[in-house]
C-alpha cells in the first residue's frame, strides 16, 4: 500500500502513468504476485495520512506500507515536530498491523529558510532509523536534482511529468524490492 500525496496520486498525469501504476506493471512483469493499493491523495499532509491509516490498514491489510508524505507539510511550513510525530505514528501503526514499512523522503524549496528545508529532509531518515523502516532518502533523485529538471516537471515546478515517472520507480524499487519477501 502506498500512502502518499500528489507525487504518488498521479497529479496532472494520465491515469495509469504514474510511478505507482508502473510499480504494478513491474511486479506483473517480474511475476511477483503482489496487489498494489494506491491510497494517495493530492494535497495530503502527514496529519491527513495519520488520520486515515488505521482505516486503510483494516480495509486492505497490507504486508508492506510505503509512506510518501511530508512534502505538503514542508510546502506549508508546518511545524516539523508535528510532521515527525505523524510519520512516527503511521510507521508504528503499520508495523503494529504486521506490515513492513518504507519511508520515502522528499525535499522542498527553501521558502521557509534553509534550516527548515534541511531539517525536513533529515527527519525522514530520523523516523526510518527510529522505527527500523526502509528508507528512500529522496523520492525525486535524478528528477529534481538531475541535469535538466525543468524538462521533467509540469509547469507548476512541483509535480513531475510522465517522462519522470519511470525514474521515480527506479528510485523506489531497490529499497522496496527487499521488503517483498
Known catalytic residues? 6, 156, 159
Phi, psi of 109 (to 5 degrees): -60, 155
Cα separation, 47 vs 81, whole angstroms: 12
Q: What is the DSSP string of 1-26?
A: -EEE-TTTTTTTS-TT-SHHHHHHHH
Question: What are the residues facing 36 on neighbouring strands?
Answer: none
Cα separation, 74 vs 165, whole angstroms: 22
Show the DSSP H helices in the chain as ranges: 19-29, 46-60, 71-75, 80-96, 114-131, 149-152, 165-176
Cβ partners under 8 Å of residue 144, min gap 6: 107, 138, 152, 153
Amino acid at each position: 500500500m502506498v500512502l502518499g500525496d500528489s507525487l504518488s496520486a498521479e497529479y496532472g498525469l494520465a491515469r495509469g502513468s504514474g510511478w505507482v501504476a508502473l510499480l504494478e506493471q513491474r511486479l506483473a512483469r517480474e511475476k511477483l504476485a503482489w496487489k498494489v493499493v494506491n491510497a494517495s491523495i493530492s494535497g495530503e499532509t502527514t496529519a491527513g495520512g495519520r488520520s486515515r491509516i488505521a482505516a486503510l490498514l483494516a480495509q486492505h491489510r497490507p504486508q508492506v506500507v510505503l509512506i510518501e508524505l511530508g512534502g505538503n507539510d514542508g510546502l506549508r511550513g508546518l511545524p516539523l515536530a508535528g510532521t515527525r510525530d505523524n510519520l512516527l505514528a503511521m510507521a508504528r501503526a503499520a508495523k503494529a498491523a504486521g506490515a513492513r514499512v518504507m519511508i520515502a523522503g522528499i525535499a522542498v524549496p527553501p521558502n521557509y529558510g534553509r534550516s527548515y528545508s534541511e531539517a525536513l529532509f533529515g527527519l525522514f531518515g530520523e523516523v526510518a532509523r527510529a522505527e527500523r523502516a526502509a528508507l528512500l532518502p529522496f523520492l525525486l533523485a535524478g528528477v529534481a536534482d538531475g541535469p535538466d529538471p525543468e524538462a521533467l516537471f509540469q509547469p507548476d515546478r512541483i509535480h513531475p511529468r510522465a517522462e519522470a515517472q519511470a525514474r521515480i520507480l527506479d528510485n523506489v524499487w531497490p529499497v522496496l524490492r527487499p521488503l517483498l519477501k
